[in-house]
Amino acid sequence: MPQREMPLPTALDPCGRTFGPEEREAVLRVLDSGVLCGAFGRETRSLEAEMAALYGRAEAVSCSSGTAALHLAVAAAGVGPGDEVVTTPLSDFGTVAPVVAQGARPVFADVRADDGNLDPDAVEAAVTPRTKAVIAVHLFGGAADTVRLREICDRHGLLLIEDCAQAWLGEDPAGPPGRLLGTAGDIACFSLQQYKHITAGDGGLAVTDDADLARRMRLFMDKGWDRSEGRIHRTMGLNYRMTELVAAVARAQLARLPGLLTRRRTSAGRLAGAVAEGAVPGVRLATASGTPYEGHAWWVVPLLVDDNARAAKALDALGVPALPGYLERPLYANPALAGHPPGLCPRAERLIDRTLLVLPWNEGYTTADADRVAGALRKAATA
């Protein structure tokens, strides 16, 4: 008889998320105030101030999702019909949907084979006179090459938008010690969706140092309406407002973030150590050059294997959830984005079809869980 073990915590279990008296008090505080809409309450403004302070940026703009935050960013960047935005095919659909919503064209650049982050050479090759911006995703919590991407954007006069939805408080190994991912771009976008490092169900934040970009994002978030000057719609805008309930919970979560990240780094770092440098045959960490680094945000633990479908099946039989490929197909192969031939980004396609294996992770994983996952990987490798 196989041993029955406790299932690992997921982001849909109370034990895989961290909600306590602070979140409870936050919800009741808002209800008792009578004001639930972010346009009139104090929670959204406070959350923005706290987020800006945490990231050391001049401004943070709250909104209803990570996708909305990216829409604020591309709209503020002036992306419109005829424009192109270079980005990755290996990400959530929320990375590209805003580009399409603006009537612009996402141009997909291939990724690096070792960690699935954008290949700067491919980004440079994809730039045309129509390119307005680059959206770089810090995939799985590991750093994209901010130095080279920043340099390419500066040389071509492009805006750099960082998609930090999976990289809350991740650090940039290329920067000075402790430099956060989300501080190299003109704008950085974050998500508070259920599965992210911290959550309020849904929600988004965009940070920037540029007052003009911040103003345009704020207008786009609230129907182009600057409420300090009467009912005038200065720009096109949607209703992407964050509610007070979400903001209040997000503030409690933001306060927990450093502690939650330490827990992830402790457990995921232990697994990373156990699989690093060929310790498990046929398994490699999907990080830059296959090495763990301390600043990784470990949204998940990404691995490289020979046959991701087979490995996922073997792990599943051992009670360890694993996603082969992360996505079923690259973003450009979705029906919503017609017109891209297969083979457009061969490295991304190979990762999805063959080599990438993603282990879901959350703050509920203990070091004992990490050891159990490492044991399952060793067993699966020899199965």
Ligand X SMILES: *Cc1c(COP(=O)(O)O)cnc(C)c1O
Stretch of 162-170, 245-253, 329-337, 357-365 lying at the interface with ligand X (CB under 6 A): 162-170
Burial 217-246 (b: 16+ CB within 10 A, else e): bbbbbbbbbeeeeeeeeeeebbebbbbbbb
Nearer to ligand X, 165 or 303 (CB): 165
> 145 φ, ψ to 5°?
-80, 85
**Angle, CA 275 vertex, CA 325 and CA 312 arms, to 5°:** 30
By CB under 6 A, tell whether 65 contacts ligand X.
Answer: yes
Residue number of the CB atom closest to ligand X: 66
Among 59, 92, 115, 162, indicate the residue that binds ligand X (CB under 6 A): 92
Among 91, 102, 131, 308, indicate the residue that binds ligand X (CB under 6 A): 91
DSSP letter string, 134-149:
EEEE-GGGPPP-HHHH
By CB under 6 A, tell whether 358 contacts ligand X.
Answer: no
Tokens representing residue 123 in the block: 């980004």
By CB under 6 A, tell whether 193 contacts ligand X.
Answer: yes
By CB under 6 A, tell whether 162 contacts ligand X.
Answer: no
**Cα-based distances in Å from 103 to 20, 81, 85, 118, 256:** 43, 4, 11, 23, 38
Nearer to ligand X, 95 or 267 (CB): 95
Residues 97-156 that bind ligand X (CB under 6 A): 137
Helix (H) or strand (E) holding 269, with range, is helix 244-275
Q: How many angstroms separate the CA atoms of 350 and 155, rounded? A: 31
Stretch of 4-12, 88-96, 152-160, 322-330 lying at the interface with ligand X (CB under 6 A): 88-96
By CB under 6 A, tell whether 166 contacts ligand X.
Answer: yes
- Closest among 79, 154, 80 to 123, alpha carbons compared: 154
Among 23, 43, 110, 163, indicate the residue that binds ligand X (CB under 6 A): 163
Non-local CB neighbours of 56 within 8 Å, separated by 6+ positions: 180, 183
Among 141, 182, 204, 295, indicate the residue that binds ligand X (CB under 6 A): 204
Among 18, 62, 67, 287, indicate the residue that binds ligand X (CB under 6 A): 67
Q: How far is the CB of 6 from ligand X (least distance, A)?
A: 27
* Contacting residues toward ligand X, per CB under 6 A: 65-67, 91-92, 94-95, 137, 163, 165-166, 191, 193, 202, 204
